[in-house]
Amino acid sequence: MTRMQPGLRINLPGTREEDCFGWTYESVSDVKTELAAQEYLQALLRQRRFDIDRLLQVPDGIEDQRWLYEHMRQICIEMGLYVAQIHKECTEQTCPSMQANGQPFYCAAHGRPRTCSAVGYAVHTLDYTMRHLSSALPDGGTGDAAQKHFQSMMRRLYRIFAHAYFHHREFFERQEAASGLFARFVRLGRKHALLPESQLIIPDLPTTA
């Protein structure tokens, strides 16, 4: 039995897992908190996770760059769970270096870029990205300097998916079927010109084209 009261957007003690976060929002203005954009996006994901066109559509009252920022922050949250899951088979022993389709990648988290295990690269990249998203971005997050930061973040995050695709294909396909995270990531990057086509080494999926 659900413990959520009508009109009350809070999970009360005793609420079943399947009933948690059961409320919806018609618009961002319905969210009466300081994290309105984030909460609205998360509500959309619960309702329409695989409707990427709808998810990427900028809501009324939110600037385009702000919506990009919220998507990137949410993607990092979900990728944290992604990396925690892949670590069951992608370890420092099984994948001692970060690479995808024979192409090695260096980790920039060590002062000087150097080789790093695949899972170490993933953890370091997520930490780097979240720290930068949580700090003040150049030009208030809207200018050319901020665009370059976003491009760097997306390029590094993409490599995590690429490693999973080429070295842990069953995991990649299982996760994508359950979450659609990679498709949303690629479509977001293409929409904002953050992922050059020459660097997209994973073949297009029906959901990413």
Q: Determine contact, residues 62/69, Cβ cutoff 8 Å.
A: no
Q: What tokens were used for 137?
A: 């971005």
Q: Which of 4-8, 25-29, 61-65, 109-113 has the lowest mean pLDDT?
A: 4-8
Mean of per-residue pLDDT scores for the chain? 84
Q: What is the pTM of this model?
A: 0.84
124-156: per-residue pLDDT in tens? 999 989 988 887 565 555 666 777 888 999 999
16-53: per-residue pLDDT in tens? 655 555 555 555 555 555 557 788 898 889 888 999 99
- CB neighbours of 50 closer than 8 A, spacing ≥ 6? 180, 207
Measured CA to CA, the distance from residue 185 to residue 157 in angstroms comes to 9
Domain ranges of the chain: 25-199
CATH 3.40.1160.10 fits 25-199, yes or no: no
Pick the residue with more confidence: 2 or 130?
Answer: 130
- CB neighbours of 147 closer than 8 A, spacing ≥ 6? 194
